A and B are shown apart, each in its own frame.
Chain A
Amino acid sequence: MKFSIFGSLNIHLVKRQSSLVSESVLIEKLTQRDQQAFQWLYDQYSPALYGVVLRIIRDDEQSSDLLQDIFVKIWKNLDAYDASKGRLFTWMLNIARNTAIDSLRSRKTQPFAAIRTDEENVHIVDRQHNTEQPNPDHIGIKEIVNQLRPERKQLIDLVYFGGYTHEEAAEELNLPLGTVKTRVRAALQELKQLFKS
């Protein structure tokens, strides 16, 4: 049965053990334009990609349109994906993030995404909890992420979701550039430790 491959892959991903063999099978199926494979890919990754786009764009309707564009891009550019250069999910995340940030910048109707207020964060969390199939794994991750020091989280959000360069972030937060660079590294290293434990 077709789903068995993807079922096992799903477990692998949830356990955060990248399985190159399974991923290469998935990519193989995708390049053969297999609809089941695409559906699996979409179901697996669309919440994460949508979450990223939503964080950047802050508009449900525009984010939905962009998510559609992003999956079309992924579909069309699968040949360009090089497994030796990085993981598939990372590759997809980069496409999503770049597409959203480009869209944000081209519209120029609003400045770069500022840091979200706590109120908005709560709103997103609520909405996530209200989704039909709450993913217990994601909730666990969320708790881990919330342990991150606030000033580090703020910086990651600014750079990753705001598309700020280190220089722009330094200006925005009124910090020396060196501090920004150190703090970005510290933030990711802290997250790494948090996820390991």
Chain B
Amino acid sequence: MNVTEYIASGILESYVMGAVSDQERREVECLSSIYPDIRHELDQLSEVLESYALSHSVEPPASVKAKLLDQLDFDKPVRETIVRPMPVNLETTSSPTFRITWVVAASMGLLLLLFSFFLLSQLRTNQKVLATIRINNNKMQAEMRLLRDQKTQTEHTLAVVRQPGTRTMELRGNEKAPQGTMLVFWNSLTKQVAVQVQSLPALPADKQYQLWSMVDGKPVDAGVFDATNIPDLVQRLNRSVARADAFAVTVEKKGGSPTPTFSTLLALTPVNA
């Protein structure tokens, strides 16, 4: 606080003149007890006003003094008030305040406690909801991934099938694989060939299926493929097939063989003209 400004504000002059509100009076009394400069200025102003009052001095009638000397009780010290038992005083005045403070503090504490319980339960509910949502989300993502994969496969299939000139042949398993069934897509224009396994027996790790195209009664390697259990998966084979009278499938060692092992022939189908 700026003491100089406060002194210059004129409030101290108003104070000694008795022209301040109760609040201003308390303020001046408080500040003057803190700041020696304010105290000093206040004392000086008080002296000024004392002198001013003195300048108006008028000797009062002698009767006043006589009446006072008669009226007042002398030689009866009023010290009782000073030696009054302080603890009793303290107890009576401070005890209710003390109790109220405790009650207020306790209720505040209780409120705070209840509020934290409320917050905790909210938090738990939210966590539960969040967990459910997360599980659902994962499920949906998995489903979506599956759908996307299926869509990609479908697109692959469609891409193969849509090409003009693509022929689709169904190969059915012979007695070695009675349940076996697969499709062969062959485009004589682009010379591309692809297979879609619908059901073929699973093979050991060192074996693969191999497709053969029959040209003039001779088998020609048309690529290897796996007996996948993924439905609708179209496996493009990286061999060009320019001509084919029929297609055959054998089981060969992994990577394929230059000539077919006829003992493992599973299926054979002619190319429909």
Question: Which of A's residues lie within 8 Å of B, judged by CB?
Answer: 16, 18, 31-35, 38-39, 42, 46-52, 54-55, 60, 63-64, 67-68, 71-72, 75, 78-79, 84-87, 89-90, 93-94, 97-98, 124, 127-128, 131-133, 135, 137-138, 141-142, 144-145, 156, 159-160, 163-166, 181-182, 184-185, 187-189, 191-192, 195
Contacts and interface: CB of A to CB of B under 8 A. Distances in A.
B57 A160 contact: no
A68 B48 CA distance: 25
18 contacts: A34-B74, A38-B72, A38-B74, A46-B64, A47-B60, A51-B53, A52-B56, A71-B64, A93-B49, A97-B18, A124-B58, A128-B57, A138-B57, A145-B52, A159-B18, A160-B17, A163-B18, A185-B10
A53 B17 CA distance: 15
B55 A141 contact: yes
A98 to B, nearest CB: 7
B29 A48 contact: no
B18 A160 contact: yes
A186 B30 CA distance: 24
Interface string B1-38: 00000000010011011110000000001001100000
Nearest to A60: B61
Given A35-B74, A85-B29, A47 B57 contact: yes
A64 B77 contact: no
A112 to B, nearest CB: 13
A52 B55 CA distance: 10
A106 to B, nearest CB: 17
Given A131-B58, A159-B19, A192-B45, 5 more contacts: A51-B57, A64-B64, A90-B49, A128-B57, A164-B19
A67 B56 CA distance: 15
B227 to A, nearest CB: 105
A141 B43 CA distance: 18
Nearest to B45: A188
A52 B53 contact: yes
Interface of B: 10, 13-14, 16-19, 29, 32-33, 42-61, 63-65, 67-69, 71-79, 81-82
B20 to A, nearest CB: 9
Contacts of A189: 13
Given A64-B64, A188-B45, A33 B55 contact: no
Nearest to A65: B64
Contacts of A48: 50, 53-54, 56-57
A47 B58 contact: yes
Given A72-B72, A93-B53, A191 B48 contact: yes
Contacts of A187: 13
For chain B, what secondary structure do more than half of its interface residues adopt (helix, strand, loop), or is it mixed? Answer: helix
Contacts of B82: 79
A71 B76 CA distance: 17
Contact of A191 (B18, B51, B63): B51
Contacts of B52: 145, 156, 160, 191
Nearest to B68: A71
A144 B33 CA distance: 31
Contacts of B44: 192
A33 B57 CA distance: 26
Nearest to A32: B77
Nearest to B15: A86
Contacts of A124: 56, 58
Contacts of B72: 33, 38, 72, 75
Contact of B68 (A72, A133, A142): A72
Nearest to A85: B29
- Nearest 7 CB-CB pairings of A with B: A185-B10, A51-B56, A47-B57, A50-B60, A131-B59, A35-B74, A145-B55
A122 B5 CA distance: 40
Given A159-B19, A166-B19, A42 B65 contact: yes
A84 B33 CA distance: 8
Nearest to B43: A87
A55 B47 CA distance: 19
Contacts of B17: 156, 159-160, 184, 188
